Amino acid sequence: MATDPVYLDLIKIAIIFIAGFIIIKWTSYIIKRTGTRFNLETTLIQVINEIIKYSIIVIALTLALNEIGVNINSLIISFGIVGIAVGFAARDTLSNLIAGLFILADKSFKVGDIIEMAGKSGKVIKLGFRVTTIKTDDNKIITIPNSIFSSGVYVNSTYQETRRVGLDINIPYELELEDTVNSLMRVTSECKWALPEPKPNVLIKEMTDTGIKATINVWINDPWKVATYRSQLALKVKELLVVEKAS
Pair (173, 236) in one structural domain? yes
Q: What is the pLDDT of residue 213?
A: 92
Burial of 243 by CB count in 10 Å (0-12 exposed, 13-18 middle, 19+ buried)?
Answer: exposed
CA within 13 Å, CB half, 67: 19
What is the extent of the structural domain holding 61?
5-81
> Has residue 112 been placed in a domain?
yes
- Min mean pLDDT across 98-107, 133-142, 220-229 is at 98-107
Of residues 148 and 179, which shows the higher confidence score? 179
Same domain as 25, residue 67: yes
- Same domain (yes/no): 183, 141: no
Give pLDDT tens digits for 97-120: 666 666 666 667 778 888 887 777
**What is the number of domains present in the chain?**
3
Give tens-digit pLDDT for 59-93: 888 888 887 777 666 655 555 544 544 444 455 66
Q: 232-244 pLDDT, tens per residue?
A: 888 888 888 888 7
> What is the rounded distance in angstroms from the CA atom of residue 93 to the CA atom of residue 223?
32
Domain boundary among 137, 159, 181: 159
Kindly report the CATH number assigned to the domain that includes residue 172: 3.30.70.100
Specify the higher pLDDT residue, 11 or 95.
Answer: 11
Q: Are strands 114-117 and 120-127 parallel, antiparallel or unpaired?
A: antiparallel
DSSP string, 84-104: HHHHHHTHHHHHHHHHHHHHH
pLDDT for residue 175 is more than 60 = yes
Q: Which of 126, 164, 162 lies closest to 144 in space, CA to CA?
A: 126
pLDDT, residue 105, reads: 61
Mean pLDDT (the chain, rounded)? 78
Domain CATH for 155: 2.30.30.60
